[in-house]
């Protein structure tokens, strides 16, 4: 029996990983206590996804446990022991803004929770690859000092700069910048995961994600820009763009493309490896460009306002250079582009809205 343990299993990346590894024949152990609802309210709840996974995956077991609870983690891992073939760590507090309100909670989830998992793996299943979902926010606001040019619908890097063709690579410094409290807690987790790879020899891989997205994303105002933007369009809710005239650029990677990258790493792990992983030049857009595409696909107009107040530590322009991962794993490639990603999210959001309306009618 091969077991895949997935933390944050009801979130965007965790649920995608659970479904993918289950399809490869793994028994999947999901750990998720729905802290997203505590972070973001009802919009962020992932209970619906927990129920969906339980119904769809016969080899899936769910534990509503907190990754900060060392004894609970040890008990779950010990139950499966040497049958654990891979650990995918996708649980996190993911919001800049929320982290500033409760720094202790943010750090305990992102940093301490990650350390507890690393130590549990080292003790119980040290041969299992450990895949950590990090973030490009470990670079802080360093990308904002790049030579950027304002265009009609986006900020873009100067064409003469080395990053213009492929994006930002892993050699950018993570030091001496404003990270936001969230970014700092993810730096701690990122570097500790590297250390368990380099110092202890754990087969740990670090994936610094750009804008991770997909139809399973429970988007909320403070996190999940593309999913929340589309939710506002479909539900005809007002939307606020924070700073940079709506021209800030994000590279968007579908959750399935990211999880397939996890799969390649699992098959040939490299201890302490770090990869920038986003949509790259293949799939990126500004907020304004995303609105235009999503409005066209949804057949609805978005009512939005522009705020001059940018989020602390936010990026004006980010495009990931994914060539390091592609060099290590040349069989991996993208299967989704920006338009197909937005189409999937629009369709999933509309379908969920219809289900909610039917439920309300039946309950009336």
Residue 324 has a CB neighbour count (10 Å cut-off) of: 16
Contact at 8 Å (CB) between 345 and 214? Answer: yes
User: What residue spans define the domains of the chain?
Assistant: 3-363
Contact at 8 Å (CB) between 84 and 27? Answer: no
Residues of the chain scoring pLDDT < 50: none
pLDDT at 175: 96
Query: Shortest CA distance to 28 belongs to which of 90, 86, 106?
Result: 86
CA atoms within 13 A on the CB side of 88: 34
pLDDT at 354: 65
pLDDT at 241: 94
CA distance 30 to 53: 9
Per-residue pLDDT of 204-246, as tens digits, reads 999 999 999 998 887 767 677 888 999 999 999 999 999 999 9
Chain-centroid distance, C-alpha 60 = 21
Per-residue pLDDT of 305-363, as tens digits, reads 999 998 877 899 999 999 999 999 999 999 999 999 999 999 999 988 766 555 555 65
pLDDT at 259: 98
pLDDT at 137: 96
CA distance 220 to 213: 12
CA distance 12 to 170: 24
pLDDT at 359: 53
CA atoms within 13 A on the CB side of 242: 14
Burial of 263 (0-12, 13-18, 19+ CB in 10 A): middle
CA distance 147 to 12: 33
CATH superfamily of 3-363: NAD(P)-binding Rossmann-like Domain (3.40.50.720)
Q: Quickly count helices (H) and strands (E) in the chain.
A: 13, 14
pLDDT at 351: 87
Burial of 268 (0-12, 13-18, 19+ CB in 10 A): exposed
Helix spans in 81-213 (H): 96-101, 103-107, 113-124, 180-198
pLDDT at 219: 72
Q: What is the pTM of this model?
A: 0.94
């Amino acid at each position: 029996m091969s077991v895949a343990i997935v933390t944050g299993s009801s979130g965007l990346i965790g649920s995608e990983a659970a479904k993918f590894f289950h399809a490869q024949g793994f028994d999947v152990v999901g750990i998720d206590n729905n802290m997203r609802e505590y972070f973001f309210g009802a919009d962020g709840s992932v209970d619906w996804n927990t129920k969906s996974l339980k119904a769809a995956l016969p080899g899936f077991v769910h534990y509503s446990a907190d990754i900060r609870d060392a004894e609970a983690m040890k008990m779950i891992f010990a139950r499966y022991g040497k049958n654990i073939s891979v650990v995918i760590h996708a649980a996190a507090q993911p919001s800049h803004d929320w982290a500033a309100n409760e720094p202790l909670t943010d750090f305990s989830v992102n940093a301490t929770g990650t350390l507890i998992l690393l130590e549990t793996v080292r003790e119980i299943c040290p041969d299992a690859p450990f895949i950590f979902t990090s973030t490009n926010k470990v670079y802080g606001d360093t990308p904002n000092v790049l030579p950027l040019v304002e265009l009609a619908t986006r900020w873009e890097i100067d064409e003469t700069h080395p990053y213009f063709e492929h994006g930002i690579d892993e050699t950018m410094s993570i030091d001496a910048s404003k990270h936001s409290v969230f970014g700092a807690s993810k730096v701690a987790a990122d570097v500790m995961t590297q250390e368990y790879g380099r110092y202890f020899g754990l087969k740990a891989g670090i994936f610094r994600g750009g804008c991770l997205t997909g139809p399973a994303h429970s988007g909320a105002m403070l996190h999940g820009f593309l999913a929340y933007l589309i939710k506002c369009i479909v539900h005809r809710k007002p939307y606020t763009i924070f700073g940079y005239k709506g021209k800030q650029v994000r590279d968007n990677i579908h959750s399935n493309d990211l999880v397939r990258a996890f799969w390649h790493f699992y098959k040939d792990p490299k201890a302490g490896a770090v990869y920038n992983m986003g949509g790259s030049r293949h799939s990126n857009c500004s907020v304004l460009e995303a609105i235009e595409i999503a409005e066209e696909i949804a057949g609805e107009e978005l009512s939005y306002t522009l705020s001059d107040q940018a989020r602390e530590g936010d990026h004006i322009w980010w495009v990931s250079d994914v060539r390091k991962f592609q060099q290590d794993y040349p069989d991996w490639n993208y299967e989704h582009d920006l338009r197909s990603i937005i189409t999937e999210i629009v369709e999933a959001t509309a379908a969920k809205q219809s289900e909610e309306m039917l439920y309300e009618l039946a309950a009336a």
